[in-house]
Amino acid sequence: MLTEEQQKCEEYFNSTTRRVPDGRYVVRLPFREADPACKYGRSREIAENSLKSLERKLHKNKEMKKRYTDVIKEYLHLGHMIPVPENDDKQSESVYLPHHAVIREDKSTTKVRVVFDASCKGINGVSLNDTLLIGPQLQPELRHLIIQWRIHPICLVADIIKMYRQVRVHDDDTVFQRILWRDNPEDSVQEYQLLTVTFGTASAPYLAVKALQQVALDEGDKYPEAAKKILEDFYMDDLMK
């Protein structure tokens, strides 16, 4: 049984999500209210102060700075982030997300993850996450998937690369996902907009998983076995069969 907010989130996804010609889904951020209070928090100054603090930390660790900069450049290269146009007039109603590094020593490839702090509150005490619907849990619990492994002699595990970033956010909502960055402290601070579902936002897990399951529903007639795996054998971005 879904709660009222969970039902609202489901209905909003179903009524606003669309698929573009390249096969990707474009989603809207599921706000609790039509006019979210987070955009009145004057978050740019907070984000700029956070950037300066980050720069001081990166200055002490050159290797960390290189890896962090590489992640930002990758966002740009893959088209997951774009500069805000110089003639932009939406700064006053935009949300700027502070960001920081998380070190993942268990990873053999990307050891540095850039995390965007959507829980950072503006001067009005409201954060982006405060205004977002979380949505219902859509997948089986992890313990159920692990128990299923016991009936198979061989187990298969796979994962979707950059799962969140495979789902686009509607252009009207990317103003709620702005960040500040510059390669060096001597440079001017530049504004960017994140174009995909962003790790760190409260609705991100729901939106990413819901989009994945929508693939199964839309393509199930052509790929029934794959659709069944998506709906029954995934935990977040991991296939566990």
Query: Token pair of 165, please?
Result: 């970033």
Do residues 135 and 206 make contact, with C-beta atoms less than 8 angstroms apart? yes
Per residue of the chain (241 residues), what is the pLDDT tens digit?
889 999 999 999 999 999 999 999 999 999 999 999 999 999 999 999 999 999 999 999 999 999 999 999 999 999 999 999 988 988 889 999 999 988 876 655 557 889 999 999 999 999 999 999 999 998 777 777 777 777 778 888 889 999 999 999 999 999 999 999 999 999 999 999 999 999 999 999 999 999 999 999 999 999 999 999 999 888 888 888 7
Do residues 168 and 19 make contact, with C-beta atoms less than 8 angstroms apart? no
CA distance 183 to 72: 9
